[in-house]
Amino acid sequence: MADKPIVMVSSYPPRLCGIATFCEEAREFIQKANPKREVPVISHTDGKGKGVFPVIDMQRADWWKPVAEKIEKLDPYAVHIQHEYALYEYLDPRGVGDGNDGFLDLLEAISSFPIIVEPHTVHGRLTDFEADFIYKLCQRSHLVLFKCHYQKWRLDWTFQGRGWPTPRNVMVVPHGARPDKRWGVHEIPALRKAFGLERIGLADHVVGMIGWIQSNKRWDILLSMWEDIYREIKDRTGLDWDLLAAGTMRDPNHRKDYEEWKTEVRSLESKGIAHYYEFIPRGDDYYKMMAICDFIVLPSTDETQSGTLARIIAMNKPYITTAPMEGLTAQTLESEGGLLFTTKKMLRQKVIKLATDEGLRMQLGENLKRYLDHVVSWDIVARQYNNAYQLARRAARTGQPVVLDLEF
């Protein structure tokens, strides 16, 4: 048993997908925490790399059958599945989806193995479909991992309201963040030079909006106010601050916003108060670009948890984000590392506050360092995963379901 693999099922790079990137990082630290086990990945057909088996073909209604067969051959210690609705939705020739029924079929087909499912979208207020799916998901899994505590206690409220029993096999394991991507102040000039940012005249102080340019990220909110904010900061401090908007489009459906927001940044750039930098936000470059910024603004309007926020936390960067907004608000409250806004006026006030108060930036950064080191470091999360595997294995072996305490 010592050499049985931990099999992950997920989208995987080079796919430009947040779940794929998450799986890649999680796999690295799961492997580190389990040096005697292999950690192969069963991915969609565009996944590549050592130990990656690209057998999920969503053109097939029975896509789950080859996956179940591969899991059977690998004979895993545990099966750890990353779930996002769009990843496993089969569309028939009419374009009508199956409601993730194939995913539930997969869970039934591999029920003899310890199954851990990590859903990446669990809204606080579930739709009827989502509530029904999560109920069935919990029935067919030995353990289900939520990212935030609010998701677990809201599930209890939702299910009680429907007269359903609340699943007790739900464990909270936070979104991991890398503990090994922090650059010192003395290293920032070299990073700026490597990206060519000195040549374009980037100011010494930088507000960043960094990451994938998607409609829900709402970069336009800050862009529409930046010129006024810049003048206020300049009047108060005498210092020049630049807005650095860096990233690129991932989903062609968001092209309209991508083009409009890029045009807005270019207009501000012509006035010498902002800069646009196009890059694919993956790997070290994603972290380095954030390291250049004094603080980050994440004006998202739809997040249950955020890979962007995980990178902000990894860099110990003070940040400002939207509230109330699911996981963004939850992690901001827990970490005490960011400021929240709910109106444009509040966003303006918070940006000016952070830019004019270096002591506050340092305090928030220290809070994030503590939160990273003690709560969300991938090293800690990987140990929690190992605990989850043990609980799932015991349930699979004994037939006795995992029963965990409710949050409240």
Cβ(352)–Cβ(360) under 8 Å?
Answer: no
Task: For residue 129, report the phi and psi dihedrals to the nearest 5 degrees.
Answer: -60, -45
Residue 1 in any domain: the answer is no
Cα–Cα separations (whole angstroms), residue 165 to 8, 136, 156, 247:
29, 12, 8, 44
Tabulate helix, strand, coil % of the chain (nearest 5): 50, 15, 35
Nearest 5°: CA angle at 294, between 292 and 299? 100
Q: What is the mean pLDDT of residues 317-344?
A: 97
> What pLDDT is attached to residue 304?
83
Range of the domain at 322: 185-376
Task: Count CB neighbours of 129 within 10 A.
Answer: 11
Side by side, which strands form the sheet with 78-83? 52-56, 41-44, 6-9, 78-83, 115-119, 143-146, 170-172
Task: Count CB neighbours of 23 within 10 A.
Answer: 26
Q: Which helix (H) or strand (E) holds 160?
A: helix 149-162
Q: What is the mean pLDDT of residues 341-357?
A: 98
On whether both 216 and 112 belong to a single domain, the answer is no
In the beta sheet, which residues pair with residue 296? 208, 319
Q: Which two tokens stand for residue 346?
A: 């509040």
On whether both 163 and 271 belong to a single domain, the answer is no
How far is it, in rounded angstroms, from Cα 321 to Cα 340?
5
On whether both 106 and 204 belong to a single domain, the answer is no
On whether both 304 and 291 belong to a single domain, the answer is yes
On whether both 39 and 102 belong to a single domain, the answer is yes
On whether both 360 and 387 belong to a single domain, the answer is no
Residue 147 in any domain: the answer is yes
How far is it, in rounded angstroms, from Cα 357 to Cα 345?
18
On whether both 331 and 190 belong to a single domain, the answer is yes
| Res 347 pLDDT > 70 | yes
Closest listed residue to residue 253, CA positions, set 202, 285, 213, 292: 213
On whether both 362 and 337 belong to a single domain, the answer is yes
Question: What is the chain's mean pLDDT, rounded?
Answer: 97
| Res 252 pLDDT > 60 | yes
Residue 408 in any domain: the answer is no
Comparing 56-60, 199-203, 237-241, 314-318, the range with the smallest average pLDDT is 199-203
Q: What is the mean pLDDT of residues 326-354?
A: 98
**What are the tens digits of pLDDT across the range 186-219?**
999 999 999 999 889 999 999 999 999 999 999 9
CATH number of the domain residue 74 falls in = 3.40.50.2000
Residue type at 215 in one-letter notation: S
Residue 349 in any domain: the answer is yes
Q: What is the mean pLDDT of residues 103-120?
A: 98
For tokens 């890979």, name the residue: 307
On whether both 140 and 253 belong to a single domain, the answer is no
- Please, which residues have CB within 8 angstroms of residue 268's CB and are 6 or more apart in sequence? 223, 226, 227, 243, 274
- The stretches of 336-377 forming alpha helices (DSSP H) are 344-356, 358-371
Residue 242 in any domain: the answer is yes
Please tell me the total count of domains within the chain. 2
| Res 1 pLDDT > 70 | no
Q: What is the mean pLDDT of residues 319-345?
A: 97
Cβ(143)–Cβ(116) under 8 Å?
Answer: yes
How do strand 6-9 and strand 41-44 relate by DSSP bridges?
A: parallel
Q: What is the mean pLDDT of residues 338-353?
A: 98
On whether both 250 and 288 belong to a single domain, the answer is yes
Residue-wise over 369-396: b if at least 16 C-beta within 10 A, else e? Answer: bebbeeebbbebbbebbeebbebbbebb
On whether both 10 and 150 belong to a single domain, the answer is yes
> What pLDDT is attached to residue 306?
85
Residue type at 10 in one-letter notation: S
Give 366's DSSP letter: H
**What are the tens digits of pLDDT across the range 10-22?**
999 999 999 999 9
Residue 232 in any domain: the answer is yes
Residue 405 in any domain: the answer is no
Residue 407 in any domain: the answer is no
pTM tops 0.85: yes
On whether both 214 and 339 belong to a single domain, the answer is yes
